[in-house]
Structure 1
Amino acid sequence: MALTTRRRALTTLGAALAVAVVLPGSQARAVGGHRGRQPLLRAHAHNDYEHTHPLFDALGHRFGSVEADIFLVGDQLLIGHTVDDLDPSRTLESLYLDPLAAIVKANHGSVYRGWRRPLQLLIDIKTEGSSTYLELDRHLRRYPNLFTTYVHGRVVPGAVTNVISGDRAARTPMEAQTVRRAFYDGRLTDLGTSAPASFVPLISDNWTLNFTWLGEGNFPEAERQKLRGIIQEAHANGQKVRFWATPDAAGPARDALWSELFAAGVDYFNTDDLAGLEVFLDAHPAS
């Protein structure tokens, strides 16, 4: 399909999505709140591309953040968890950027109709970070006015905020830019450093490398205080917090850990279980 024809088709799709996200074989869900409910801005779809309908399943469950792993192959950014998963038809554009552009156009500037808070697109670089980021930057430039942008010291909000994770070599070319369409996913080692929230708006880390508790029994008080201290310090710096490798099998342990994360004020809950997290956050006020 020619690029112009493809974009026309996606614009038509976006117009339909302004009314509902229609997922083959599943219930239609409104973009802007399923059955009138608010988007779940703290819900993060880990490895989103592994769901039956990448992006759309997460939007159907009202998620505020989705994760896409990219590999640089030639000048293409292919989506997958490992090299063996790659398919030339599954690109960052086809699964995420083109559909998001169409949805935002149809919804007059936002992913969720009536909500100006941006959707977070966490882009996890799986190939060498510097070269992959530079190619990614060229791809992002093809979508004017879609992304939150850093412009000469000022952050200009957009409908989608790109945050770059994965290979840490991406940091060098990103820091050199005076205009960026993406931001950097920090680690706990970045907390309290000179890196500003305008460059590192998100602090992410592996739960199991920082905490021993996995939801069974009582949360050790020292670990509870450590968790709350991390989140308080990040928030004081204008940064958000996400942990990966938290328990994700449905059951009391996951519920207990999610409840502690909620009480501590974590900004993103990391999950592969879209429906499970939707139920949990709906049961908690101000989620």
Structure 2
Amino acid sequence: MAETTTLSSPRHPYADTLADSDYDSSNSIDGGSSMETDPKHLHSFDYSNANILEDGYINQRSNTRSVRNWWSRIMTVRSRRKQSLEEFRGKEDGDADVGRGLLTGTSNPRSRQIKNGLFNYLVFGGISGLGILCILLVINLTLGLATMFWYGDVDTVLRNWGKPGTGTEGLAWYPTDFTRDINPIPCHSHNDYWRRVPLFDALRAGCTGVEADVWLYDDDLFVGHNTASLQRNRTFQSLYVDPLVQILKQQNPQTDFYNGTSHGVFDADDGKSLVLLVDLKTGGAETWPWVLKQLEPLRERGWLSFVENDVLHTRPITVVGTGNTPFNVLTQNSTYRDAFFDAPLDQMWTPRHTTPEMKDWPDMDDSLPGERLVEDEGSAEEVLPSTTSSNSANTVSTATPSNHGQGMTGVSSNTTFSPLNSYYASVSFGKAVGRIWRGRLSGRQMKIIRGQIRGAHERGLKARYWDLPSWPIGLRNHVWDVLVKEGVDYLNVDDLRGASKQVW
């Protein structure tokens, strides 16, 4: 009996798996001879010999089917290991998912799929959004261009209004359109020459009063706040007289229907007179005659308010002298004059007159400024250096008639102010009323304001306070509100925009 040599093999590490796949250890590969190859360890990653797994040997007698199943499983393991090796070499940053695939032989493509999907969504979503936006912009531009060629009859008239051949050549110009959309308000443009465009900025805001500081040098009147700001081309004539002549010429066209001179600078209120306040900075006796001389272009056209034979005639421009303007020089012509004085408001305080029917009126709350008070007029008289007598309401008593300054130059002890010689009654707010504490006017200050405004109105003059607080803005607006409610006639302002927004 011939000996049969059986080739034994150590236990394969995938023996259990191969057994589950119908692997039959009793069968051998046809040929009956054994084949021996060098064993190589799996962890060497050398797969040049595909028939070896670690130290195990393959039985050559295995049937073809079993070998194929075993071989396919081996190749699956090898492919997984190869993939893990490539991931390890491609990602040296120690990514957790790669490390997990290297150890377990599996990768986590789901996280990469989510990231790739989110990236694609953002990219293609952004591109789609931009595309839609471009389409909408093109449609909007197309419709806009279409409206340039498609318009109705009304649009045709508007587009061709005033053009030659349309029959409207002479209709495109409105004769008095210089200030047609401006409503005049009772504000005075303080230091108007400081504006970017003197006079015109004030008119655009609706101010009915402008101020020019004049200096007499070389037989001419120059406008500026001080001598450092004076320029040869910035004169009283060039900044105020000549522009007013041109404006009033346009406002008073000579036509078949109108041949007058009474139309003022404001088309919305053509009877409103514009106050031109001339503040003399040099000697009044020498400077005032030059002011009257340079007003001649306005005078000869009948545009200056004047007094003749004790009758007041109001015209588009009312000239008022202040600063060093001498009252005695201004009023020396008793039959005719076309300029008026700026009287001292602080010398006009007048107590309230209580009539018999007012005795039983209920007392009003005096806790808030601007409200009616139960006035003890004596408390206000105490702060005034000199007061008027109730029996002589139009007389101002002054201890020093030779004092210079606003309302004091050329004034005597028996000077009487009235609409025939004066227009404004002005005073510095800080000097007459005092400093405001805690953001409100006290009862005493309210009585001073009311007594002075009352005294000016009894004389037929326009009350005006200058040197008003300008900061904080809330305090300034509060003072404006109080003065307007109490009946001040002109609000002295530096902020034209703020004044134009004031509720009058």
TM range, normalised to the smaller chain?
A: 0.7 to 0.9
Aligned in 2, Cα 1:258/1:185: closer, same or farther, shift over 3 Å? Answer: same
Partner Cα distance (1:17, 1:266) in 2: 34
Look up the match of 1:148: 305
Partner Cα distance (2:175, 2:191) in 1: 23
Look up the match of 1:113: 267
Secondary structure of 1:201's aligned partner? strand
2:184 to 39, 49, 59: 39
Is 1:204 aligned with 2:426? yes
1:165 to 291, 302, 322: 322
Unaligned runs of 5+ in 1: 1-14, 21-30
Partner Cα distance (2:478, 2:288) in 1: 37
Is 1:58 aligned with 2:202? yes
Look up the match of 1:24: none
Aligned in 2, Cα 1:100/1:216: closer, same or farther, shift over 3 Å? Answer: farther
Between 1 and 2, higher relative CO (CA 8 Å, sep ≥ 6) is seen in 1
Confirm or deny: 8 A CA contact 2:424 2:463 kept in the other structure.
yes
Partner Cα distance (1:17, 1:249) in 2: 42
Look up the match of 1:12: none
Look up the match of 1:130: 285
Look up the match of 1:90: 234
| Higher normalized strand content (fraction of residues) | 1
Confirm or deny: 8 A CA contact 2:331 2:337 kept in the other structure.
no
**TM-score when normalising by structure 2:** 0.48
TM-superposition CA deviations, 1:158-217 (whole Å, max 9, x none):
10100000114x222111013222100011355332222211221000111111243743
Confirm or deny: 8 A CA contact 1:215 1:254 kept in the other structure.
no
Partner Cα distance (1:59, 1:85) in 2: 23
Confirm or deny: 8 A CA contact 1:214 1:257 kept in the other structure.
no
CA RMSD of aligned residues (A): 1.9
Is 1:277 aligned with 2:499? yes
Post-superposition offset of 1:218: 2.7
Post-superposition offset of 1:128: 0.3
Confirm or deny: 8 A CA contact 2:345 2:463 kept in the other structure.
no
Secondary structure of 2:481's aligned partner? helix
TM-superposition CA deviations, 1:61-105 (whole Å, max 9, x none):
111101011011122111101011111111111111111111112
Is 1:253 aligned with 2:410? no
Post-superposition offset of 1:18: 3.9
Look at both structures and tell me which one has the larger radius of gyration over its CA atoms.
2
Look up the match of 2:60: none
Higher mean displacement: 227-236 or 182-191? 182-191
Confirm or deny: 8 A CA contact 1:215 1:253 kept in the other structure.
no
Look up the match of 2:464: 242
Partner Cα distance (1:182, 1:136) in 2: 10
Post-superposition offset of 1:157: 1.2
Confirm or deny: 8 A CA contact 1:240 1:266 kept in the other structure.
yes
Look up the match of 2:170: none
Partner Cα distance (1:166, 1:97) in 2: 19
Partner Cα distance (2:277, 2:470) in 1: 19
Partner Cα distance (1:151, 1:86) in 2: 36
Secondary structure of 2:417's aligned partner? coil
Partner Cα distance (1:104, 1:250) in 2: 39
Partner Cα distance (1:159, 1:220) in 2: 39
Partner Cα distance (1:270, 1:262) in 2: 11
Partner Cα distance (2:175, 2:424) in 1: 29
Please tell me the residue identity of whatever aligns with 2:315.
G
Look up the match of 1:104: 248
Report runs of 4+ in structure 1 exceeding 6 Å deviation: none
Aligned length: 253
**TM-score when normalising by structure 1:** 0.83
Higher mean displacement: 210-219 or 96-105? 210-219
Partner Cα distance (1:66, 1:149) in 2: 18
Higher mean displacement: 74-83 or 106-115? 106-115
Amino-acid identity (%): 30
